[in-house]
Amino acid sequence: MANLFKTIACSFTRYSCITFMFLKFLFAFLVMSPFLSIAQLSVEESELMARMTPTSTIPAELVSARSVVVYQNTFTVKELQEAHTFFQQTGIDAVAYFDVGRLLAGHESRKAYSANLLARGIKYLILFQKNEKGYRFIFCPFNGKPDFVENNSLVWQQENASLNELLKTVYRFAVSNLKKTNFLINDLPETNLTVNVFKGRINQNFSLQVKTFKTAIPRFGNAVADAELEAYLKENFPVKYELVDPQADEVALSAKGFRTILRYVHTRGLLAQEILGFDMTQQARSLPSAIVVNNEIQIKTILAEQPVYKFFFKNLEYGDLFLGTKWDADVTWQDALRNHIEALKLNQQIGPGNK
């Protein structure tokens, strides 16, 4: 009998050890993977977060410097107001709230918004995210550049299934660890601030300069996408062009003889139209997009809230945009680029002899 009890005890101890080791591994995995619980991020938001390194330390100047909240469009006015009320009590001076779909929509948006934040003296970005499982704040230092965050930037993040509990947690950390010096904070969140993204005129036509002068086409900065882009252009873009660095300075490109540059926005379809200056008085749940099939334009319907790519050409000297004669956005960059290039070729009767 004594041997039986000894065997049972050993077995229990062994399985307890295994269970303990498993729980220890699971806990470590969750701690080391703090960004796993919030899903369905945009490509741009995911790339932004990939440059962040989580830390357990709350930012030293969070309640003494200025911040902006970068939120997802799924938040309600009530949720933004609740967050702002707690920020005000905490001493977090969130001077503006920007839709992440605007901030990261493309090269021009990043450049315009980063300049705006720099002029406001912003110290921190506060990413505000949610999904069906809960809410999350990520507090990260703003680097004053169009990429917003440095590589391996240390960020403090908190998440909870309840927004109210999450806000209470942030409040407790702040009052326990920091000295509050922000007292003059607005009562309401500033969510309707406009930032002028484009300086030049917006034309719903194609630029004649694309056919006559060399065009700069920025790479994506991704080896796979860049190879695909190069192969497509070589086969289908029969005019003078040159692939350039994604961060190439436009003034320097103009000095080298480039007259136009190919740009794009990537965000929700309806928001993309607003950013690009389309008439927004009539809105619908779906947007008709022009695609070219066998040298003929056909219509493809895409939900207005679906993220899309929309390409356009920009004049480097004056900043004028040339969007094309029809809305030709699409879900993937490959299809959107094909739509725009094929429409350009039809419009300007561009063929192989134009190189």
Would you say residue 286 has pLDDT above 60? yes
Q: What is the distance between the alpha carbons of residues 67 and 61, in angstroms, rounded to a whole number? A: 10
Mean pLDDT value of segment 292-316: 95
Q: What is the distance between the alpha carbons of residues 49 and 127, in angstroms, rounded to a whole number? A: 10
Would you say residue 146 has pLDDT above 70? yes
Provide the pLDDT for residue 351. Answer: 65
Q: Return the CATH number of the domain spanning residue range 43-177.
A: 3.40.50
Q: Which residue would you say has higher pLDDT here, 124 or 284?
A: 124
Please, what is the average pLDDT of the chain?
Answer: 88
Would you say residue 1 has pLDDT above 80? no
The angle that helices 163-177 and 77-90 make with each other, rounded to 10 degrees, is 20
Provide the pLDDT for residue 30. Answer: 38
Q: Which of 9-13, 76-80, 218-222 comes out lowest in average pLDDT? A: 9-13
Domains of the chain, by residue range, sit at 43-177, 202-354
Provide the pLDDT for residue 223. Answer: 96
Over the stretch 226-237, which tens digit does the pLDDT of each residue have?
999 999 999 999
Would you say residue 209 has pLDDT above 50? yes
Mean pLDDT value of segment 65-93: 96
What phi and psi, each to the nearest 5 degrees, are found at residue 293? -130, 120
pTM: predicted TM-score of the whole model, two decimal places: 0.85
Would you say residue 21 has pLDDT above 70? no
Q: What is the distance between the alpha carbons of residues 88 and 18, in angstroms, rounded to a whole number? A: 47
Closest residue by Cα to residue 190 from 83, 98, 64, 127: 98
Concatenating the DSSP letter of every residue in 116-180 gives: HHHHHTEEEEEEEEEETTEEEEEEEE--SSTT-S-TTEEEEEEEESSHHHHHHHHHHHHHHH---
Percent above pLDDT 70 for the chain: 88
Mean pLDDT value of segment 280-284: 81
Q: Which of 6-10, 92-96, 101-105 comes out lowest in average pLDDT? A: 6-10
CA dihedral 136, 137, 138, 140 (to 10 degrees): 170
pLDDT band at 80 (very low <50, low <70, confident <90, very high): very high
Would you say residue 15 has pLDDT above 70? no
pLDDT band at 307 (very low <50, low <70, confident <90, very high): very high
Provide the pLDDT for residue 27. Answer: 35
Mean pLDDT value of segment 191-198: 90
Would you say residue 16 has pLDDT above 80? no
Over the stretch 118-132, which tens digit does the pLDDT of each residue have?
999 999 999 999 999
pLDDT band at 353 (very low <50, low <70, confident <90, very high): low
